[in-house]
A and B are shown apart, each in its own frame.
Chain A
C-alpha cells in the first residue's frame, strides 16, 4: 500500500534527503554563498564590493545630515598641536621620553599617556623614545624614512653623507616628491607623444580601471563623485599656503600663489588603503608608531603613481594629496564609509577605522559617481562611545552629534561629532579601539552583529557592552612580535 502512489519508499526518500543534506552542507561550508549577491545588491555598479548588509543612499545624502546651504569652506587643514622643541635625547634625560621626529605630545601629555598605557598593559614601559620596547622603537625609526613623501635629510650614499632634501631644495624643489600637477616624469611617455589616441572608456570602465590600478599598487577601494559648488566646500580655501581654485582653463597650473584645477577635471577619485590591523591595535606610547608610519611611507608613493598612471593614459590628474580637502567628509559622499564619533577618520564597513589613505585625485577622465552608504554606524556611534571613553585626554566628544562648530578649527553645517585637534597629540589609542575594526575573516558573530546594526539600533548598546566584555579592541603591543602576521600586515581575504 505504501508503494501505491509512489515508487520511492520512505527509507529511500530519507536516504536521498540525507545525501542532499550532505551536499547542501558541503556547498554552504565550502562556498561564500553571498559573495556574488553582495556584488549585485549592495554596490555601485559592481565597482565597490560592499558587504551585503551595506545599503546605498542617494547622491550627496550621506547618513550624517549636511546643511549644504550653511556649510562653510575651511581655510586650510584642521589645526594641529605644535611639535615640542626638545630633542628625543633631552626628553630621555629629563625622564619623560619622547620627541622623536614627527611627535606632538608635550612632556606633560606624554606622562599622561605613559600612565594610561601602564595601566592598560601592566609591565609595559615607554623605553628610550616613549614608544615601548627596543624592537618596536627601532621599527618606528626605520619606517618613518621618507614618510609623507618627504625627501630624506642626511643619508649615506656612495660612502658619503648627502643631505638629499637640502640638495633638492637648493635646486628649487620642494620638501616632498608629491606635487599638485603630479610627477609628470620625463620618462613617462603618453599617447599624445606618439600622436595616437588615448584610451577611452565608459565612466564605469574608467573607475574599474582605476580600482584595478589602486589594488595593484597596494591600495584597497575606489569611489568617485562629480564636483559641484556644494562638494567644493569640502575642499579648503588653501593648500600648502596656496589658493585652491577651479578655473575655466585647458591646463592645470601651479603658481607661487595658487593651485588651479581646470573645470573639466570635475571627477573626484577617492582611493583608500588599509593600515596594518594587528600592529595598529598594538600601538602604545606617546605617538602612533610603525603601523601608521609604514602607511605614510608607502601610500604617498602609491598616490603619486596613481596620478602618474592617469597622466600616462593621457588625462589630467591633479591632487593636493593628504591636505587641501576634508578627506572623511568627501568619503561620506563617495560611499567609502560613514561619519563616526571619532570624526577625523571615516568608518569603513569592512575594516572600521584601520585606514590610512582616503585620498583624492581630480581628473578629467570621466568617472561614474558612487553613492553614499549606510550600514548603521551613525546611529551605532550615538550609543557606543568606546573611542570617546578610551581617549586619555577626553578630546573625542561624548553625547549626541551637533550642528554647531563645537571645537576649535571645526565648522558647523553638519550634524556630527568634532574633535579638538589643536591639543590632540596623535596618540595611538582611539583608532585602535573601534569595534568595527574587528577581523572580517573571523567569527560569524561579526557579520551577524554588523547586519543587525545596519537594520536596527535596538541592540547597539548591548553590542557595545559585549565588545568590552569579550575583550575585543586594543591588545598588548609586546605580543605583536609573536604573531605570524600577514604580508604588509593586511589580511586581504576581506
Chain B
C-alpha cells in the first residue's frame, strides 16, 4: 500500500507538472474535472480489487463499470476541453 501510494503520488505530480509546463489545462474547471476523473479512476481500481478480495465478483465488475465510466467521461471532457481550446488558438 505504501509503495502504491508513493508511486501514484509521484505519477500524479509528474503528470500535473507536465500539464502545467505544456499549458494543457489552464482553466480551474479543467483541473477540477481532471482531478475528479483521476479520483474516479482510483475508485475504480480500489473497488474492483477490494471487491475481489471480499469474494464479491459481481460487485467488482459492476462497480468497475460504474466508476470506470464516470472516470472516462470526466477525463474525456477535460481532455476535449483542452484539445478544443488548443485548436481554437
Binding site for B on A (CB under 8 A): 11, 14-15, 17-30, 278, 438-439, 441-445, 469-472, 475, 479, 483
23 contacting pairs across A/B (C-beta < 8 A): A14-B21, A15-B17, A19-B13, A21-B16, A24-B9, A25-B5, A25-B8, A26-B6, A29-B2, A29-B5, A30-B5, A439-B54, A441-B53, A441-B54, A442-B50, A444-B46, A444-B47, A445-B47, A470-B56, A470-B58, A470-B63, A471-B62, A475-B55
How far is B10's CA from A18's CA once the two chains are assembled, in angstroms?
A: 7
Contact, CB under 8 Å: A18 / B51: no
The B interface is mostly helix, strand or loop, or mixed, namely helix
Taking CB atoms, residues of chain B closer than 8 Å to A444 are 43, 46-47, 50
Among B13, B55, B57, B58, which residue has its beta carbon within 8 angstroms of that of A17?
B13
B55 vs chain A, min Cβ distance (A): 6
B66 vs chain A, min Cβ distance (A): 9
How far is B6's CA from A470's CA once the two chains are assembled, in angstroms?
A: 31
Contact, CB under 8 Å: A26 / B16: no
How far is B63's CA from A472's CA once the two chains are assembled, in angstroms?
A: 12
Contact, CB under 8 Å: A27 / B63: no
Interface bits B56-80 vs A (CB < 8 Å: 1, else 0): 1111001100000000000000000
Interface bits B34-55 vs A (CB < 8 Å: 1, else 0): 0000000001001100110111
Given contacts A23-B9, A29-B2, A441-B53, 8 further A-B contacts (CB under 8 A): A22-B10, A22-B12, A27-B5, A438-B54, A443-B51, A444-B50, A445-B63, A472-B59
Residue of B nearest to A470 (CB): B59
Q: Given A443-B54, A444-B43, A470-B59, do A22 and B2 touch, yes or no (CB 8 Å)?
A: no
Contact, CB under 8 Å: B8 / A443: no
Q: Is B29 among interface residues, defined by CB-CB distance under 8 A?
A: no
Residue of B nearest to A445 (CB): B47
Contact, CB under 8 Å: B6 / A442: no
Contact, CB under 8 Å: B8 / A470: no
Q: Given A14-B17, A443-B46, do A471 and B56 touch, yes or no (CB 8 Å)?
A: yes
A15 vs chain B, min Cβ distance (A): 7
Taking CB atoms, residues of chain B closer than 8 Å to A17 are 13, 16
Q: Is B83 among interface residues, defined by CB-CB distance under 8 A?
A: no
Residue of A nearest to B62 (CB): A470
How far is B72's CA from A197's CA once the two chains are assembled, in angstroms?
A: 69
Contact, CB under 8 Å: B58 / A471: yes
Contact, CB under 8 Å: B13 / A22: yes
How far is B57's CA from A439's CA once the two chains are assembled, in angstroms?
A: 14
Taking CB atoms, residues of chain A closer than 8 Å to B47 are 443-445
Residue of A nearest to B49 (CB): A443
Contact, CB under 8 Å: A442 / B56: yes
Among A11, A15, A26, A443, which residue has its beta carbon within 8 angstroms of that of B9?
A26
B34 vs chain A, min Cβ distance (A): 14
How far is B10's CA from A469's CA once the two chains are assembled, in angstroms?
A: 36
Q: Is B20 among interface residues, defined by CB-CB distance under 8 A?
A: yes
A110 vs chain B, min Cβ distance (A): 28
Taking CB atoms, residues of chain A closer than 8 Å to B50 are 442-444
Residue of B nearest to A16 (CB): B13
Contact, CB under 8 Å: A18 / B13: yes
How far is B16's CA from A24's CA once the two chains are assembled, in angstroms?
A: 15
Contact, CB under 8 Å: B58 / A29: no
A190 vs chain B, min Cβ distance (A): 46
How far is B25's CA from A14's CA once the two chains are assembled, in angstroms?
A: 14
Question: Interface centre among A14, A29, A441, A471, by most B CB within 10 Å?
Answer: A29
How far is B51's CA from A369's CA once the two chains are assembled, in angstroms?
A: 37
Taking CB atoms, residues of chain A closer than 8 Å to B5 are 25-30
Taking CB atoms, residues of chain B closer than 8 Å to A470 are 56, 58-59, 62-63
Residue of A nearest to B17 (CB): A18
Taking CB atoms, residues of chain B closer than 8 Å to A443 are 46-47, 50-51, 54, 56, 59, 63
Contact, CB under 8 Å: A29 / B63: no
A494 vs chain B, min Cβ distance (A): 11
Contact, CB under 8 Å: A472 / B9: no
Q: Given A26-B9, A29-B2, A442-B54, do A18 and B62 touch, yes or no (CB 8 Å)?
A: no
Taking CB atoms, residues of chain B closer than 8 Å to A278 are 55
Contact, CB under 8 Å: A14 / B59: no
How far is B2's CA from A475's CA once the two chains are assembled, in angstroms?
A: 33
Residue of B nearest to A485 (CB): B55
How far is B6's CA from A27's CA once the two chains are assembled, in angstroms?
A: 8
